[in-house]
Structure 1
Amino acid sequence: MRDVDYLRPETVAEASALLAELGEGGRLIAGGTALLLALRQRMVAPTHLVSLARVGGLRGITYDPRDGLRIGALTTHSALARSAVVRAHYPVLADMAGRLADPQVRNQGTLGGNLCYADPTTDPPTCLAALDARLVLGSARGDRSLPVTEFLVDYFTTALHPDEILTGIRLPPPRFDLGHHARFHRTAAEHRPLINLTLLARRDGDTVAEARLVVGATTVVPTRVAAAEAFLAGRAVTAAVAREAADIVADAVEPLSDLRGTAAFRRDMLRVMARRSIERLMPPGMEGREVA
């Protein structure tokens, strides 16, 4: 790595002004878990690093029954996993954060940094997309808000303007009473999932009143599978229903194909993951029973 200047602004407006002034030579640094690797591998070569460590208001988690969850962009994954508020109202999010990558990344990496890096093979975007998250983007010009699905554009590409900073993540009040985040790794040594999937559901007795199903890691950006959601709505989940819904999921997605896995392999594994996740919605006592 070559020498770079390290700048420590104290407000969002000050950090935004620095980014506008530095242009391509400036890079924000939060937890640094992804950026330091990119610097080491010479994927990026900034002249200045703009640290967010001293900027106030970018940490913390608060919840209001009417407004939902507010997460500061510099909140670490481990803080998210440990939060009593998140565990009580958004348990699928806490569970996802507690299994992300490895302990070093969870303790140092931030949720905002993860989203801004826009690596397709990571877990938070898929889970947040299922939860209808919106991202607050700040600059010296003011704030704007985007759904996470509009924020993530392409491989390592976001909708951030050059002078903007992700300041917070907002989730609406919870509307689903069941949730599961699944991830598939080809080996135990891998920390980047080949496929992930978030399934949320609201029950009405033994039937699924509403479902939300989002696939990630095997697609460039998180992909919601509306056809599978519509198929599950109003049905009691059986093994046969889970298989049919999983086929819908596998057929609806266009998987990536690369050195880590072919599109055909990913599609087959996605079908297995979707079936196992959907089987979790079976009414009590139905597990393992074949009902047409």
Structure 2
Amino acid sequence: MRDFDYLMPETVGEVSGLLARLGDDCRMIAGGTALLLALRQRMVTPTHLVSLARVRGLRGITYDPRDGLRIGALTTHAAVARSPLVRQRYPVLADMASRLANPQVRNQGTLGGNLCYADPTTDPPTCLAALEAMLVLGSARGYRYLPVTDFLVDYYASALEPDEVLTEIRIPAPRFDFGYHARFHRTAAEHRPLINLALLARRDGDVVGEARLVVGATTVVPTRVAAAEAVLAGRRVTAALAREAADIVAEAIDPVSDIRGGSAFRRDMVRVVARRTIERLVEQDSEGRIVA
């Protein structure tokens, strides 16, 4: 790791000014779980680190019935997982955060940092895409709002401008009564999923009224599969329907191929994960009642 200057601005405007002035010679640091590894391996060698630790208004979780959930970008994954507001109103998000990576990352890493790093093999982007999250991006020029699906554009690449800071994640008020975030790892020792899939649904008994289905980790960016959602809508969930929809999901995606898994293997596993997740829509308790 090479020497660098550590800067601690206190406002979004100050951060933006430093980013604009220093350019490629600086990096923002939030939780640092990814950046510190890159520094140690000399994958990046900035002369300045711009810390967000003292910037006001970047932490906290609030909820309003009209505007929905608001999560400060510096909120840790662990804080999201244990938040009573999130657990009550967005249990799929709390559950995803509680199983993310490992305890060290959950307690140190931030939701905003995760999104800005744009690692395609992580969990929050897929879950947030299904929840239709909107991101608030600030700079000295003002603020702009961008859907998370437009923010993530490629491998480790986002739509964040050089002088911008991700300040907040906003999620609309919930309208689904079922939510599950599935993850598949090739081995129990892995912390980065080979595949993840988020399914949200509004149900009337065992009939699906509306669904959101997003695949990630095995694609360059989270991919919503509208064709599978349309097949599920208005139909009673059966094993046959789950297989039909899962086949559509598997064929709709463009899986990557790398040393962790070839595209054919990933497509097959997406089919399995999708089928099992859809079947969860009609899981029953000991008395035969459908449960989420």
TM-score by length of 2: 0.97
Whole-angstrom distance in 1 between the partners of 2:155 and 2:243: 31
Q: Deviations over 1:176-201 (max 9, x none)?
A: 11000000010111100000000000
Question: Is 1:83 paired with 2:52?
Answer: no
Letter of the 2:78 counterpart: S
Structure 1 portions without partners, runs of 5+: 288-292
**Residues 278-289 of structure 1 mapped to structure 2, 5 A cutoff:** 278-282=278-282, 284=284, 285=288
Whole-angstrom distance in 2 between the partners of 1:205 and 1:66: 27
Question: Is 1:216 paired with 2:207?
Answer: no
Which residue does the alignment assign to 2:121? 121
Which residue does the alignment assign to 1:14? 14
Deviation of the 1:64 alpha carbon: 0.5
Q: Deviations over 1:26-50 (max 9, x none)?
A: 1000000000011112221111000
Whole-angstrom distance in 2 between the partners of 1:94 and 1:9: 31
Deviation of the 1:243 alpha carbon: 0.8
**Residues 265-276 of structure 1 mapped to structure 2, 5 A cutoff:** 265-276=265-276
**Residues 1-292 of structure 1 mapped to structure 2, 5 A cutoff:** 1-282=1-282, 284=284, 285=288
Residue identity over aligned pairs, in percent, reads: 80
Secondary structure class of the residue paired with 1:37: helix
Whole-angstrom distance in 2 between the partners of 1:53 and 1:286: 48
Q: Which moved more, 1:277-286 or 1:156-165?
A: 277-286
Secondary structure class of the residue paired with 1:281: helix
Whole-angstrom distance in 2 between the partners of 1:278 and 1:186: 21
Structure 2 portions without partners, runs of 5+: none
Q: Is the 8 A contact 1:218 1:255 kept in 2?
A: yes
Whole-angstrom distance in 1 between the partners of 2:234 and 2:104: 43
Whole-angstrom distance in 1 between the partners of 2:43 and 2:177: 42
Deviation of the 1:11 alpha carbon: 0.5
Secondary structure class of the residue paired with 1:18: helix
Q: Is the 8 A contact 1:126 1:198 kept in 2?
A: yes
Whole-angstrom distance in 2 between the partners of 1:37 and 1:174: 36
Whole-angstrom distance in 2 between the partners of 1:286 and 1:56: 47
Q: Is the 8 A contact 1:236 1:282 kept in 2?
A: no
RMSD: 1.1
Number of residues paired by the alignment?
A: 287
Q: Which moved more, 1:63-72 or 1:39-48?
A: 39-48
Whole-angstrom distance in 1 between the partners of 2:196 and 2:227: 18
Whole-angstrom distance in 2 between the partners of 1:204 and 1:4: 58
